[in-house]
Amino acid sequence: MEIAAKVGEVIEASTSEFVAQCYQLHEPPPLGSLVKTKNAPGETYGIVYHAETHSLEPGRRPIARGEEVKEEEEIFRNNPQLAKLLCTDFRALVVGYGEGNRFFHYLPPRPARIHSFVYLCSMDEARNFARSLNFLSLLIEANLAVPVDEIVAASLRHFSQAYDDQQAFLVKAGKELALLLSGELKRLNSILRRLK
């Protein structure tokens, strides 16, 4: 049984999303993956929709250092302070919460807590969560900094890996999308094309 891996810590939280800083530079959970954070009495689930690596201090920007260097890892080896000056954050859109074995595909009553750990859900957990595709309606209507359709497709691609018959899951999800996007054929098409 896979155990969820700890990937970061919440540094901002609201009803609809939370931001977490990663423990490992450049290692955020993949776009569209399902993450969770403790939110007593259960856990809040989110879908990663954005990740960013940037300088810890607002005024300081990274500069190119590798002109003379053959490999990129050398830059970090030659300047060990860099890893301490940069950080990677990711943003997750809240798509539900869970208590025990039950999942609720609507917004939880309270936002996540600052400094709570964020875990990347195992494939088993993702499959259980995705038994109902209701979370798609939350995702489709979200107002995000990145194109929503990309995230919908990324998350479906991610979830499909939890199933032996990936195609069957994608078809099921596709049909759900067809219903949700019944007046928006172009949008449906563009998402479906990204499901490969």
Site for another protein in 30-59 (CB under 8 A): 57
**Cα–Cα distance measured from residue 168 to residue 158, given in angstroms and rounded to the nearest whole number:** 14
Decide if residue 174 touches another protein (CB under 8 A).
Answer: yes
Interacting stretch for another protein, rule CB under 8 A, among 17-25, 30-38, 104-112, 187-195? Answer: 187-195
* Sign of the four-CA dihedral 195, 133, 151, 138: positive
Of 61, 77, 116, 131, which one interacts with another protein (CB under 8 A)? 77
For residue 127, the minimal CB distance to another protein (Å) is 19
Q: Name 95's Cβ contacts closer than 8 Å, sequence gap at least 6.
A: 45, 46, 47, 105, 135, 138, 139
Q: Please, which residue, 41 or 58, has the CB nearer to another protein?
A: 58
**Minimum CB separation from another protein for residue 76, in Å?**
7
Q: Report the distance separating Cα 21 and Cα 56, nearest Å.
A: 11
Q: Among 150, 100, 138, which Cα is nearest to 15's?
A: 138
Of 81, 100, 101, 109, the one binding another protein by CB under 8 A: 81
> Which contiguous run of DSSP H or E holds residue 157?
helix 148-160
Residue 156 in contact with another protein, rule: CB under 8 A: no
Whichever of 75 and 107 has its CB closer to another protein, that residue is 75
CA distance 23 to 190: 34
Least distance from another protein to the Cβ atom of residue 85, Å: 7
84 binds another protein (CB under 8 A): yes
Of 43-51, 106-114, 136-144, 176-184, which part binds another protein (CB under 8 A)?
176-184
Six token digits for residue 188? 């449906």
Q: How many CB atoms lie within 10 A of CB 48?
A: 25
- What residues pair up with 20 in beta bridges, in sequence order? 10, 90
Q: Which of 41, 63, 104, 118 binds another protein (CB under 8 A)?
A: 63
Interface residue list for another protein (CB under 8 A)? 57, 60, 63, 76-85, 167, 170-171, 174-175, 177-179, 182-186, 188-189, 192-193, 195-196
